[in-house]
Amino acid sequence: MLKIQEIRELIQLIDNSSIDEFKYEQNGEKVTLRKHQQGGGETIRTVQEAPQPVQPSQPAPQSPAQETSSASEKTEAEDRSGTHAVTSPMVGTFYAAPSPDADPYVTKGDTVKQDSVVCIVEAMKLMNEIEAEVNGEIVEVLVKDGELVEYGQDLFLVKPE
Amino acid sequence: MKGEILKMLSRAEGYTSGEHISEQLGISRTGVWKHIQSLREEGYTIVSVRKKGYRLEHSGTGFSAHAVSSKLRTEGIHIEHHEKIPSTQTRAQRLAQGGARGWTVVTADEQTGGRGRRGRPWSTKKGTALAASIILRLDKLPQEAAAITPTAAVIINDVLQRYGVDTRIKWPNDILAEGRKVCGILTEMHAEMDELHYLIIGIGVNVNETDFPEEIKPTAVSLRHLTGQEWDRSALLAALLDELKKRLPEFEENGFTPFREDWLRYSTVINKEITIHQRHQSWKGRAVDIREDGRLIVETETGQKEVISGDISI
């Protein structure tokens, strides 16, 4: 569990950064820090949930669900106008490549056609090949290989031709 | 048409007249004769006696579209069989993209580039295994579709049990006997956010293998090895398709829920200490339950986790 001091430090760091939202999750404990910039004043909301008792000394097995997604959160703040977001139609694991040692289907800067396969989302061995949906260029890969994605989550940003 | 003739002959007791066949199917007597000739070329022994008609000597253990069709009890299943094909799954995808209707089934006697999970090769040696890819067009939302894998596992497990094979289900998609894999299921989906275009269930069953390649020997077993006899693949496939066709509407209506109790009864992982192997990590826990959406619930030292992906070792 995060200590108060650590949270205080996080708030300060985020305060001075361009990050709008920060999420942290480990062992079922969640922390969300969000900046609301409209209305003049700045509010920081802290939510800490710990549904199960946590033994701090035990190194927790990491499942994809528990990896932080701060990298993708950061990009959300960037300008997305004029891009098409490829979203996941189901909850599952995001695979950027057909196998762990294979090259990814696409990387940033690649040109794609609307039926180009950009990744696989898998759940219970149901494989869903996700297509780019538009002709254009991959300008952002928002999820890392092996990460859990939610229904409707943005996976890629494509700049249409 | 050949399938229809074969069906008539296999259902008939004694002889069926050419005249009767031509009336029933609306084809000429010469047409009937041509189809009979073609069936004979495929290996069916059809006896013809003047003024009596045709009689099927034995239904043949060959694996062909007609052999499967003639043994199906359900209507509306279309079989496309290949002697040799790179992958039934890829072929089914192409057919589905071209608008093939649901319950179109691609089978093969030999697969040269079969695909297993995550692009791993799944080889099908000529004349031994059962490989089939079923196109389904279900009235389901994409996010509800993943539970079809454990559902299909329950249905396939039931069919094998009925044949007297003591099979068990390993989360999420394998069917085991004597702790080794006898059947694997792989499903592929083509969907948009709120629209499921089609699903393709790929089923691979080890049927008449007497030996396996070195790398899968310790983990694979065939029905022939388990029962000590040779199996008729077309009869087994017909039984599997009949059962899936009968019970998948229940999945379409109510999801995995009606299948969950059976799944728990036949599961190899429940109440076992397991290791879950995921792409970038492996971890241990105790499998305790399965959710109604098919996720496995695993108890760990730091609490309960829901598993949506991974391979399990016990």
Q: Is B279 on the interface with A (CB under 8 A)?
A: yes
pLDDT of residue A130 exceeding 80: yes
Residue B313's pLDDT band (cuts 50, 70, 90): very high
Q: Is there a binding annotation on residue B260?
A: no
Q: Among the ranges A81-85, A124-128, B3-7, B16-20, which has the highest mean pLDDT value? A: A124-128
In B, minimum Cα distance to A100 occurs at B279
Contact B189 A127 (CB under 8 A): yes
> What is the C-alpha to C-alpha distance for residues B156 and B150, in angstroms, rounded to an integer?
10
Say what the pLDDT of residue A62 is: 44
The partner residue sitting opposite A98, judged by closest CB among B118, B281, B309, is B118
**Lowest-pLDDT range, A57-66, A108-117, B28-37, B81-90?**
A57-66
pLDDT digits (tens, 9 = 90+) for A133-159: 999 999 999 999 999 999 999 999 999
Q: Which domains are delineated in chain B?
A: 2-58 (1.10.10.10), 65-266 (3.30.930.10), 273-313 (2.30.30.100)
Looking at the DSSP assignment, which residues form a beta bridge with residue B82?
A: B108
Question: What average pLDDT does this structure show over B66-84?
Answer: 90
User: What is the side-by-side strand order in the sheet with A84-87?
Assistant: A84-87, A154-160, A136-141, A111-112
B 112-171 residues inside an 8 A Cβ radius of A: 117-120, 142-143, 145-150, 171
Beta strands B78-82 and B104-108, pairing class: parallel
Q: Is there a binding annotation on residue B116?
A: yes
Q: Which domains are delineated in chain A?
A: 4-49 (no CATH), 81-160 (2.40.50.100)
Size of interface A-B (CB pairs under 8 A): 125
Q: Is B288 on the interface with A (CB under 8 A)?
A: no
Considering only CB atoms, which chain A residues are within 8 Å of B274?
none
Q: Is there a binding annotation on residue B102?
A: no
Say what the pLDDT of residue B43 is: 63
> What is the C-alpha to C-alpha distance for residues A45 and A33, in angstroms, rounded to an integer?
5
> What is the C-alpha to C-alpha distance for residues A140 and A147, in angstroms, rounded to an integer?
16
Residue B124's pLDDT band (cuts 50, 70, 90): low
> What is the C-alpha to C-alpha distance for residues A106 and A156, in angstroms, rounded to an integer?
10
H/E element, B70: helix B65-71
pLDDT of residue B294 exceeding 90: yes
Contact B308 A58 (CB under 8 A): no
Considering only CB atoms, which chain B residues are within 8 Å of A65?
305-306
Residue to test with chain A: of B90, B97, B143, most A Cβ within 10 A? B143
Question: What average pLDDT does this structure show over B172-186?
Answer: 95
Say what the pLDDT of residue B72 is: 92
Question: What average pLDDT does this structure show over B148-155?
Answer: 97
- Whose CA is closest to B126, among B184, B208, B204, B67? B208
Q: How far is A38 from chain B (nearest CA, A)?
A: 31
Q: How far is A93 from chain B (nearest CA, A)?
A: 7
- Whose CA is closest to A85, among A159, A148, A25? A159
Mean pLDDT, chain B, integer: 90
| Two tokens, residue A12 | 């300060």
Question: What average pLDDT does this structure show over A17-27?
Answer: 75
Residue A26's pLDDT band (cuts 50, 70, 90): confident
pLDDT digits (tens, 9 = 90+) for B157-170: 999 999 999 999 99
Q: How far is B220 from chain A (nearest CA, A)?
A: 19
pLDDT of residue A76 exceeding 60: no
SS3 state of residue B162: helix
Question: What average pLDDT does this structure show over A92-112?
Answer: 93
pLDDT of residue A4 exceeding 70: no
Contact B279 A93 (CB under 8 A): yes
User: Model ipTM?
Assistant: 0.80
Q: Is B239 on the interface with A (CB under 8 A)?
A: no
Residue B121's pLDDT band (cuts 50, 70, 90): low
Question: What average pLDDT does this structure show over A104-111?
Answer: 95
Residue B202's pLDDT band (cuts 50, 70, 90): very high
Q: How far is A59 from chain B (nearest CA, A)?
A: 9
> What is the C-alpha to C-alpha distance for residues A24 and B186, in angstroms, rounded to an integer?
34
Considering only CB atoms, which chain A residues are within 8 Å of B302?
27-28, 52, 54-55, 58, 60-61
Question: What average pLDDT does this structure show over B250-262?
Answer: 96
Q: Is there a binding annotation on residue B119?
A: no
The answer to whether the Cα torsion of B283, B311, A91, A128 is positive or negative is: positive
B29 Cβ contact list (under 8 Å, min separation 6): B18, B19, B22
- Whose CA is closest to B198, among B54, B89, B59, B56? B89
B36 Cβ contact list (under 8 Å, min separation 6): B5, B46, B48, B54
In A, minimum Cα distance to B195 occurs at A89
Are the C-beta atoms of residues B239 and B203 closer than 8 Å to each other? no
Say what the pLDDT of residue A38 is: 42
pLDDT of residue A47 exceeding 80: no
In A, minimum Cα distance to B312 occurs at A124
Are the C-beta atoms of residues B209 and B216 closer than 8 Å to each other? no
Question: What average pLDDT does this structure show over B25-46?
Answer: 85
| Two tokens, residue B128 | 């031994």
Q: Is there a binding annotation on residue B181?
A: yes
Residue to test with chain A: of B189, B298, B304, B312, most A Cβ within 10 A? B189
pLDDT of residue B54 exceeding 50: yes
Say what the pLDDT of residue B115 is: 61
Say what the pLDDT of residue B216 is: 84
Q: How far is B41 from chain A (nearest CA, A)?
A: 40
Would you list which residues of chain A are within 8 Å, Cβ to Cβ, of chain B?
Answer: 27-28, 51-55, 58, 60-65, 87, 89-93, 95, 98-100, 102, 122-129, 145-146, 148, 151-152
Contact B150 A124 (CB under 8 A): yes
Q: Is B294 on the interface with A (CB under 8 A)?
A: yes
- Whose CA is closest to B162, among B232, B239, B228? B239
Say what the pLDDT of residue A117 is: 95
